[in-house]
Chains A and B, each alone.
Chain A
């Protein structure tokens, strides 16, 4: 302790300052980005522009949307390699809308992720158990 004016005082315990709730958003730079519907869209045919996405999301999403029988056409493109934008074109039959098809695509992809995680974890645990047994034997 540097020379304190209360040097003869006993140390006193103080209440901890109330824990600060961290309000800084996790995805500072990512959350501002949004989906833009490109001009010329109708209910059943629209192009959506995703900022900051690439082939990773583009191709996986295209696959998920194409699995929907109400979708007539789905494709994705990255119009310019140095522009971080990805366009998804969706054309559907009258039974649904392009927006609904897009949402269903996200839902299906998320369900798929859950299955992959579940099966991967199970297979890994089983493998670890078996190879552990082998080492002990």
Chain B
């Protein structure tokens, strides 16, 4: 017997998660074999391929927004989690402080330095290996050109003899009164010279991050070792500032909202979500439409549900009771990815997909041991 195929209306109904004043309904996914009697829902690549869509809303260098449509929450969430915690980047891991006479303590300074986002050739970062930390039973991998990048921070503050004697600004009164991220100097070793050259050199993304303030006679001399790591280990390795998704809001006006009510209704939503249109003569002439005798008056229509925040404000008023149904589309994920500057934001998402695939492949390889 061929499997039953549900009607389009039924499929559309299943796609909407209901949002009520205090509760949500129709929450879990039901597209699994055995859930709906007679229907298939078996994994089929072609079905997925036909149903899956990507829409871009914005694609700046370090911030992008796009919709993934036709995906399950389990997979969309995996991508989001990988974006935040499992894409490798470079960050300062070890600080060797040769001299620090500034007022900022060694450990505080080290912590600040670790959090500075670095950029560098992506090819170089992919070439780099992981550092194995030394443990009780095993020695570490040690620092080599292929796993450690060396930065140096050497600044000394002294008086500026040429400063005006009435000068109040310490930055003019002294040289190096402020230590910025741009003072971090990259010292390539070994093959790093091939990978991190020109624009691909290791450098802070934002050169103007204030690291410390100095006064004449104070000095910072340190060597900083950067390694490859992932966000799950420490947030400084996370390549994204934010990576989030929301479900596309869905607003259905089930009975006419006309005149003054329509204007009030529009005010319940952010600008541009609800529009006002005049009731046409044809609508007013149709009996049972709810528009009888209202020709020419304003009625509320849904213009752009994408902009809605689903505040549920409209559900608080008696006059809209039963006239509107709020919801969200279960399989329409509006992603927002903001990069810290190491990768371009669209590349980041592709990296996340790559990481998921790589993980699957690695575990699958592990299965062969079980089968033997």
Contacts and interface: CB of A to CB of B under 8 A. Distances in A.
Nearest to B34: A69
Contacts of A62: 74
A34 B369 contact: yes
Interface in B86-138: 86, 129-130, 132
Interface in B1-59: 29, 32-34, 40-43, 45, 48-49, 52-56, 59
Interface string A90-108: 0000000001001100111
Contacts of B132: 28-29
Given A60-B78, A99-B370, A67 B54 contact: no
Given A29-B130, A128-B59, A68 B43 contact: yes
B220 interface: no
A124 B363 CA distance: 30
Nearest to B42: A69
Interface SS of chain A: helix
B363 A120 contact: no
Given A63-B75, A113-B356, A116-B52, A28 B141 contact: yes
Contact of B356 (A60, A63, A68, A108): A60
Contact of B146 (A22, A37, A64, A120): A22
Interface in A21-52: 22, 24, 26-31, 33-35, 37, 50
A117 B349 CA distance: 9
Given A106-B361, A121-B350, 16 more contacts: A22-B129, A27-B130, A29-B130, A35-B369, A37-B370, A55-B81, A56-B356, A60-B356, A63-B72, A67-B41, A69-B34, A102-B367, A113-B354, A119-B53, A124-B346, A127-B59
Contacts of A103: 364, 367
B34 A117 contact: no
Given A22-B146, A66-B32, A113-B356, A123 B74 contact: no
B56 A69 contact: no
Contacts of A121: 350
Interface residues of A, number: 53
A121 B54 CA distance: 9
B41 A35 contact: no
Interface of B: 29, 32-34, 40-43, 45, 48-49, 52-56, 59, 66, 68, 71-72, 74-75, 77-79, 81-82, 85-86, 129-130, 132, 141, 146, 346, 349-350, 353-354, 356-357, 359-364, 366-367, 369-371
Contacts of B141: 24, 28
B356 A131 contact: no
A37 B370 CA distance: 8
Which 8 residue pairs spanning A and B have beta carbons closest together?
A67-B43, A127-B56, A63-B74, A123-B54, A69-B33, A113-B357, A60-B78, A56-B81
B297 to A, nearest CB: 38
A72 to B, nearest CB: 8
Given A28-B132, A99-B371, A59 B78 contact: yes
